[in-house]
A and B are shown apart, each in its own frame.
Chain A
């Protein structure tokens, strides 16, 4: 080839342009540094209707709860269980990915609580006494004190009887201990460990928390991997040993580990199948290497552009990015397999696909926006490679081979026969086919339930069931977030809420609740309790002293029952005993952008309990059901995305009408639209809910499928080679997405199934578009 010929110069200019654009992208990526890869599974969850502040508070709480883990190490021989628990505990403690791990109960922790409660014996009483008359309060504590001293099996500590004759610290302690989350569990103490007995084994309880920077994804040095190895070693040593696990980290680790293995298999098989197919067709490595290189460059370009624009990329974006592979391979195949690479069809196909993605960019959902942007850039890069670089490669393949077009010709002959059917018969067939879809639409269920997106591994599921039975915590799916401009305001609002919750408990709508203000009341409540008790307790003091053989002090109101001047409440920072500090860490969210937040958890709620009756959003008390909010937000997002893509299709049709006639434009969009309707109907028949991931699949069908129709429309006198290229494109897409539909990971399999059904229908319908 003459290097100085205008044709050659043009080609080298094209390659230079392609290289320049991609190098510019690399520079942009470097300039945009620092960027990160977001691996947080919760990032794919959309923002709900909650205000951004409540959402931020909720996120802090979720991050905390999702890092907690519980392990139960059991054996029929308790010594073995203890040894194994010690080894597991020390393995956890020694790892930097673990924030805390505990499995021994401090024998002196009760002393710490006793001292704390003695100092706060007035303010920590049951707030229900505030509704009583002074004399009633005095009688109540008088009788309780007599019971504690003279009653059978008195457990009360009487060593400070003269300072605390009504034994208020004992009342506070009983109240507090009955409220701690551990109190309702089946755990018992044994050798300074919390243990539980089940099926002939004694299990030792280990409580641990992952550090914030520990990954949710499985990797070689992940602590949960190390933990699994340790457990395996222990089980080799002690064959009867069982370890039950509970907590979000185990699920994240297990699902990502399963996904990694599965994606490895699926991508391996589909890549091998696609390569084999291409090798059979081209019988040359050059088009295959070129096609794969263009895909690799497209993915790198898409990754770079996303990092440069968003400064981060979510791991899920790569999954959606498979569409880039699907479409880029189509462009490359058309270039190599179609007799005349149809630049016009490719450009139109590119434009229509990009329009679908632009529709997704408009949706207010950062991850979807990132995914769409990633795909847009990837496709642009793939198209540039095909248009600017591939011609240089094709030169070397000239005169090299003829493709086996026989199959394509036979198929097209079949379509021609179908088209020769009289119009009325065709309409009848169409109506019957459309009618067959109706029952599917009737059964259609457009809904996203993220619980159905994840199938718990059987062993982990059984573990969770056992732990739930032992712990008996019963945290309701809806909880409350309370906000205020100060710690005191939050605590006061909590107290208003808990008063209502106590009513619900009396009405047996709830068994109990967990609120930090029950453990650390507001200054207002403390002052009210102090004031009530300082008035009431002196009323029966002399009687009590006589019965308890105590010498009464003079002026007891001042010396024993004086109201304490309270400082501004600094509950968040108060040095609490260990047991109460753990409750604070669970419930107190803290300060976010100048406001304070806490959570109140209803426990063992009945079906009749409606949390919204107890919320007061105008007063900063919100009922939050993360699961419900996420589901409805995802369903709403899916429908918005679908509507926008439908709108984009109208726009596509409109734009196509400038190139083709209106009638032809409608014929082009007919294939992907009917394919989507077919897919929806099939989901109805199969009773698979059309969720966010199914709708994402439909969007891909619309984006990829329209290209087939466009290629056929522009095929003119080489429909056989176009049909061959479309066949190849469809085959590669079906192999890729068909294997995805086999995944055990529900979002991936649903996406794969939607694309498999849609692209199959699109492939079958698109030849009708040709002239």
Chain B
């Protein structure tokens, strides 16, 4: 058990390094005006919508799956991912639960109370995309890097169990959130690139 745990830690460490070494050397000072400004960017609007491209790289099978669609992040209704290509599917993460609509229109519902780990992940994702600083501080180690053309926020979950699913998250942006990169415990990378169309 200890051996596998160490392996997992090594993988996490390696992936953190691979993602972007600089960000992990710069713990966020939540009092700093730059960080405050970024959090405002993330949480300012009631509703943010636009298009996104998702790239999912699976290290073990050396494959990248790309898909794209529309998104809407609403303080009230949660997050809606309306995938259009290559297949239509929809994912809604809200307070009441997670609803996945499959390509054939069938729905898989998961009440938010139904699964501890999924609930943790859903809550974390809502906090990340909604800029909920209190939840983020509670659940993640926060890192911040101010760059010439924008900023980067690094997040590392405090929970080992969550680290299996999300080893780290890096958010990049300027006036808006431009990119989110999630790395899981196996080193697989999930990237979102956003083009916001409305606030």
Contact = CB atoms under 8 A, between A and B. Distances in A.
Interface of A: 105-108, 110-111, 139-140, 143-144, 146-147, 149-155, 157-159, 161-162, 174, 177-178, 182-192, 194, 472, 547-549
Interface string B153-164: 000001111111
B4 A192 contact: no
Contact of A194 (B89, B91, B116): B116
Given A143-B104, A178-B115, A153 B161 contact: no
Given A147-B102, A150-B86, A162-B61, A189 B120 contact: yes
A485 B192 CA distance: 57
Interface in B108-129: 108, 110, 113-121, 125
Task: Name the residue in A139, A162, A174, A189 with the highest tally of chain B Cβ atoms < 10 Å from its Cβ.
Answer: A189
26 contacts: A107-B161, A111-B164, A146-B89, A146-B102, A147-B102, A147-B108, A151-B67, A151-B83, A152-B69, A152-B83, A153-B91, A153-B93, A158-B60, A158-B61, A158-B63, A159-B58, A162-B61, A174-B110, A177-B118, A178-B114, A183-B116, A188-B119, A188-B120, A190-B159, A547-B87, A549-B63
Contact of A111 (B4, B106, B117): B4
Contact of A154 (B5, B56, B86, B116): B56
Nearest to B2: A108
B149 to A, nearest CB: 27
Contacts of B43: none
Nearest to B85: A150
B1 interface: yes
B168 interface: no
Given A111-B4, A153-B81, A472 B113 contact: yes
B132 interface: no
A105 B186 contact: no
A194 B120 CA distance: 12
Given A111-B164, A139-B104, A547-B87, 18 more contacts: A105-B161, A108-B4, A108-B5, A110-B117, A111-B4, A147-B89, A150-B65, A150-B83, A153-B190, A154-B190, A157-B186, A159-B58, A159-B60, A178-B114, A188-B120, A191-B158, A192-B159, A549-B63
A86 B144 CA distance: 34
B103 interface: yes
Nearest 3 Cβ contacts at the A-B interface: A152-B81, A107-B160, A159-B60
Nearest to A202: B138
Interface in B26-81: 54, 56, 58, 60-61, 63, 65, 67, 69, 71, 81
B196 interface: no
Nearest to A152: B81
A161 B104 contact: no
B165 interface: yes
Contacts of A150: 54, 65, 67, 83, 86-87, 89
A45 B185 CA distance: 54
Given A158-B61, A192-B160, A192-B161, A143 B115 contact: no
Interface string B1-35: 10011001000000000000000000000000000
A194 B93 CA distance: 23
B10 to A, nearest CB: 14
Contacts of B118: 155, 177
Contact of A158 (B71, B103, B188): B188
Contacts of A182: 116
A184 B114 contact: yes
Interface of B: 1, 4-5, 8, 54, 56, 58, 60-61, 63, 65, 67, 69, 71, 81, 83, 86-87, 89, 91, 93, 100, 102-104, 106, 108, 110, 113-121, 125, 158-165, 186, 188, 190
Contacts of A161: 58, 61, 63
A446 B165 CA distance: 60
B125 to A, nearest CB: 7
A191 B103 contact: no
Contacts of A548: 65
Contacts of A149: 56, 65
A107 B67 CA distance: 31
Contact of B161 (A152, A162, A189, A472): A189
B61 A110 contact: no
A143 B161 contact: no
Contacts of B67: 150-152
B109 to A, nearest CB: 10
Contacts of B190: 153-154
Given A159-B58, A188-B116, A191-B158, A143 B125 contact: no
A146 B188 CA distance: 18
A472 B100 CA distance: 25
Nearest to B54: A152
A144 B102 CA distance: 6
A184 B114 CA distance: 5
B161 A146 contact: no
A472 B119 CA distance: 16
A698 to B, nearest CB: 51
A687 B90 CA distance: 61
Nearest to B56: A154
Nearest to A182: B116
A300 B3 CA distance: 64
Given A140-B106, A151-B83, A178-B115, A189 B89 contact: no
Contact of B116 (A153, A162, A187, A192): A187
B102 to A, nearest CB: 4
Contacts of B160: 107, 192
Nearest to A197: B138
Contacts of A147: 87, 89, 100, 102-103, 108
Contacts of A108: 1, 4-5, 8
A190 to B, nearest CB: 7
A188 B116 CA distance: 6
Task: Name the residue in B89, B118, B158 with the highest tally of chain A Cβ atoms < 10 Å from its Cβ.
Answer: B89
A459 to B, nearest CB: 28
Contact of A151 (B8, B100, B116, B120): B100
Given A155-B165, A192-B159, A186 B60 contact: no
A189 B65 contact: no
Contacts of B83: 150-152
Contacts of B5: 107-108
A184 B113 contact: yes
A200 to B, nearest CB: 14
B50 to A, nearest CB: 14
Nearest to B87: A146
Contacts of A111: 4, 164
Contacts of B119: 188
Contacts of B116: 182-183, 185, 187-189, 194
B44 to A, nearest CB: 23
Contact of B159 (A151, A191, A472, A549): A191
